[in-house]
Amino acid sequence: MPLTHVPAKRSAMAQATLSIDLDAVVANRQALDAVSGAHVETAAVVKADAYGLGAAKVAKALQKSGARTFFVAVAEEGIAVRKSIGPTARIFVFAGHMKGDADILKQFDLIPLLNSTDQILRQRQTLPGHGFGIQLDTGMNRLGIKEADWRQVAASVLDDAPALLMSHLASAEIKDSPANSAQLANFRRMTDGSGVMRSLAASDGIALGPEFHFDMTRPGIGLYGGLQADGLRPVVRLSLPVIQVHRLKPGDAVGYGGVWQASAPARVATLSAGYADGLLRSLGGGNAQVYDGDVTCPVVGRVSMDLLTVDVSHLPHSPEMLEILCPAQGVDKLARAAGTIPYEILTSLGGRYDRRYLGASQ
């Protein structure tokens, strides 16, 4: 039978809904910006599709509110951001200039952060005169030019007028880690007197104090509501519709493996989202809660690919939907329940949600 009518959108209740508050993202950048001095620029890291929230929409909202500099992980990610924000803002690429990147870097006016002498050579050979920055390794041993190599090439590289000298902190979330001051000292030794714009701090680095701010900070997670700090707002809300409610007798088991059993008569709601939607399997086994307003309902049994089961015996009514990300449970709290970090929760959320962008900033 031919399909004669395909509804464009189902009712709000029928589909799991991810709301993304762009005004909150904008406010978070402003709050992070207020922590550093007036001469310090607060850029925006929008890699991994803005931590899963939609790089084109997020970058546009941030640009409207005054952000002038964006960071992506690899050149391909810069395309969507450039198309969204137009020609004026700067877009830096953390992976630098990889083999085959020259055309994209040129066409979309992306600035590679060169992280090895090989990349410096590639840039000079394939994109002479095109803007670049330098990523220095100050102790993380992940990306960046090592100090000994930098000594060899610094003079000639500085002659080519890099747009930025940057490095990344490995342990910024541990305020008193000696690695922070060691990396700071290394960064200073490698860049003092260069006269080039410098950047060291991501979200957690901003809280380490003004000596870590240099000319530009590069927050990511702090923009997206994954950092618990004064003045930062939650950004995402995730509501899951209830498909079915089961009435259980004592001893009835729920889900794969029957790992949870009712100890008394119970009502268990089956929600429409699972590990394929980024609700990680580690949220099962009694580790997580969902919310009916302020009332918590424990996730019971194993998380399935598309489904989550929740004990709602204590609710006076049968809810039509429950929330797993909401004011009472931000991404940091959900991350703790899953035994992971907010970054992994956000970037796992997946493509099946009805995504709704809120706020005047879009």
Ligand X SMILES: *Cc1c(COP(=O)(O)O)cnc(C)c1O
Q: What is the smallest separation between the CB atom of 202 and ligand X, expressed in angstroms?
A: 3
Stretch that binds ligand X, among 23-31, 80-88, 153-161, 212-220 (CB under 6 A): 212-220
Pick the catalytic residue from 83, 106, 175, 256.
256
What's phi and psi for 90, nearest 5 deg?
-90, 140
Binding of ligand X at residue 213 (CB under 6 A)?
no
Stretch that binds ligand X, among 6-14, 27-35, 101-109, 220-228 (CB under 6 A): 220-228
256 is known as an active-site residue: yes
Please tell me the distance from the alpha carbon of residue 155 to that of residue 298, in angstroms, as a whole number. Answer: 60
Other Cβ atoms within 10 Å of 321 Cβ, number: 19
Q: Which of 129, 104, 101, 107 is nearest to 115 (CA)?
A: 101
Q: Can you tell me which of 219, 225, 241, 274 binds ligand X, judged by CB under 6 A? A: 219
Q: Which residue is nearest to ligand X (CB)?
A: 220
Binding test (CB under 6 A) with ligand X, winner from 60, 82, 122, 218: 218
Residue closer to ligand X by CB (options 45, 325) is 45
CB of 227 to ligand X, least distance (A): 8
Q: Which of 78, 222, 225, 330 binds ligand X (CB under 6 A)?
A: 222
221 binds ligand X (CB under 6 A): yes
Locate 163 and state its tokens.
């747009």
Q: State the Cα angle at 278 between 275 and 282, rounded to 5°.
A: 60
Distance of CA 310 to the CA centre of its chain: 27
Does 202 help bind ligand X (rule: CB under 6 A)?
Answer: yes
Least separation in angstroms between CB 226 and ligand X? 7
Q: Give the three-class secondary structure for 311.
A: strand
Q: 223 CB contacts (<8 Å, ≥6 apart)?
A: 25, 28, 29, 32, 44, 45, 58, 62, 203, 235
Q: Is 235 an interacting residue with respect to ligand X (CB under 6 A)?
A: no
From the candidates 9, 47, 106, 275, give the one annotated as an active-site residue.
47
User: How many angstroms from the chain centroid is the CA of residue 125?
Assistant: 34
For residue 171, which phi and psi values (nearest 5 degrees)?
-135, 35
Tokens of 296: 């918590």
**Interaction mask 92-111, ligand X, x per CB under 6 A:** --x-----------------
**Contact positions with ligand X (CB under 6 A) in 38-57:** 45, 47
**Residue 220 binds ligand X, judged by CB under 6 A:** yes
Least Å distance, CB 28 to ligand X, is 11
- 343 tagged catalytic: no
Options 17, 63, 191, 203; binder of ligand X; rule CB under 6 A? 203
Number of residues that bind ligand X (CB under 6 A): 12
Angle between helices 22-35 and 55-64 (to 10 degrees): 60
Residue 302 C-beta: closest distance to ligand X, Å: 31
Pick the stretch among 32-40, 182-190, 215-223, 304-312 that binds ligand X (CB under 6 A): 215-223
Contacts of 204 (CB under 8 A, 6+ apart): 169, 172, 173, 227
- Residue in 168, 198, 213, 302 binding ligand X, rule: CB under 6 A: 168
Q: In whole angstroms, what separates CA 165 from the centre of its chain?
A: 23
At its nearest, how many Å lie between ligand X and the CB of residue 205? 8
Q: How far is the CB of 73 from ligand X (least distance, A)?
A: 7
The greatest distance separating any two alpha carbons of the chain, rounded to the nearest whole angstrom, comes to: 77
Element (H, E) at 45: strand 44-45
Find the Cα–Cα–Cα–Cα dihedral 305, 53, 23, 332, rounded to 10°. 60
Interaction between residue 225 and ligand X (CB under 6 A): no
- List % helix, strand, coil for the chain (3-state, nearest 5): 35, 20, 45
User: Which residues carry out catalysis?
Assistant: 47, 256
Q: Which residues bind ligand X (CB under 6 A)?
A: 45, 47, 94, 168, 202-204, 218-222
